[in-house]
Amino acid sequence: MTQTADPAAPHRDAIPSLRAKDYKSDIKPVWCPGCGHFGVLAALTKTLAYLDIAPEQAAVVSGIGCSSRLPAYLSGYGFHGVHGRALPVASGLKAARPDLTVIAAGGDGDGFSIGGNHFLHACRRNQDLTYIVMDNEVYGMTKGQASPTTPPDWAKSKLTPHGTGMPRFKPAAIALAAGAGFVARGFAGDPNGLTELLAAAIQHPGFAFVHVLSPCRTYRPEQQDWKTEVHPCVLGPAHDIAHAAELLQRDDGLALGILYEQRFPVYADGVSADAAGRLADIEAELCR
């Protein structure tokens, strides 16, 4: 394990009443054998059990892509929605149901390309959400096109036969610059370490971004090497932005752990009674 979750976790003294398997649905994942997303699913179910969050008290919202199938494999509330729009849906849900543990999840294409704008503003808005991005540096579901995090010289896609030639999107540095108060990186091949990171992220009051290196066995088989390349982030976590920026300037993209943690005021606790009344009026109008 790479990090220790907050020992003051609210539910940790009690014996967890549910186990990881209780958070899995009956639907069998259709991911390719060896896909990193299996490790993320395992870590997330262990995290929810560790924190003793009842399935009906958690909601996982996703966009589109291989990794965005995640909610279907969980037993709690889930929403497999529109490409790049996991965060706006999760934000609306958190505003309407502040009592729920709301987790948004998806891939690098979904979250950093079409959803990139939402990512920036979710970081600075600082609602109490956790955002897990399973990054394999490729669009897997649509058969291997370059994504925002693909290295510029990766030339195996027919759409970019000479590589993209563009610098890569740097998720952790961008989250920091956009105002996120919790930035961490995990590895799907280290489910125990990832469980601790996810527990810390869920317990963080405010927006928590967890960048997960999750290999695509089919279109990026070379990512199997990540097993030997990842390493703990020995310089983190940073608790001030200047230190974090310095750390991320030197980051090789393979350092695991909490990179930055800072507490900021959390955006509005929820929808006011007035607003809830207006929403009910709108709903009644639409359903007439």
d(CA 149, CA 170): 7
Nearer to ligand SF4, 45 or 147 (CB): 147
Nearer to ligand SF4, 188 or 244 (CB): 188
| Phi, psi for residue 45 in degrees, rounded to 5 | -65, -35
Nearer to ligand SF4, 110 or 190 (CB): 110
Of these, 20, 35, 100, 210, which contacts ligand SF4 (CB under 6 A)? Answer: 35
Nearer to ligand SF4, 107 or 206 (CB): 107
- Per-position b or e across 27-58, b if 16+ CB within 10 A of its CB: eebebeeebbbbbbbbbbbbbbbbbbbebeeb
d(CA 127, CA 207): 5
Q: Tell me if 118 sits within 8 A of 85, measured CB to CB.
A: yes
Of these, 131, 182, 207, 219, which contacts ligand SF4 (CB under 6 A)? Answer: 219
31 makes contact with ligand SF4 (CB under 6 A):
yes
* Least CB distance to ligand SF4 at residue 186 (A): 16
* Least CB distance to ligand SF4 at residue 20 (A): 21
d(CA 94, CA 88): 10
Find the part of the chain contacting ligand SF4 (CB under 6 A) among 5-13, 30-38, 94-102, 185-193.
30-38
Count CB-CB contacts under 10 A for residue 214.
29
80 makes contact with ligand SF4 (CB under 6 A):
no
Which residue bears the tokens 């003294």?
13
187 makes contact with ligand SF4 (CB under 6 A):
no
105 makes contact with ligand SF4 (CB under 6 A):
no
218 makes contact with ligand SF4 (CB under 6 A):
yes
CA angle centred on 254, ends 146 and 145, rounded to 5°: 10
* Least CB distance to ligand SF4 at residue 38 (A): 9
* Least CB distance to ligand SF4 at residue 46 (A): 20
140 makes contact with ligand SF4 (CB under 6 A):
yes
Binding interface with ligand SF4 (CB under 6 A): 31-32, 35, 37, 66, 136, 140-141, 216-219
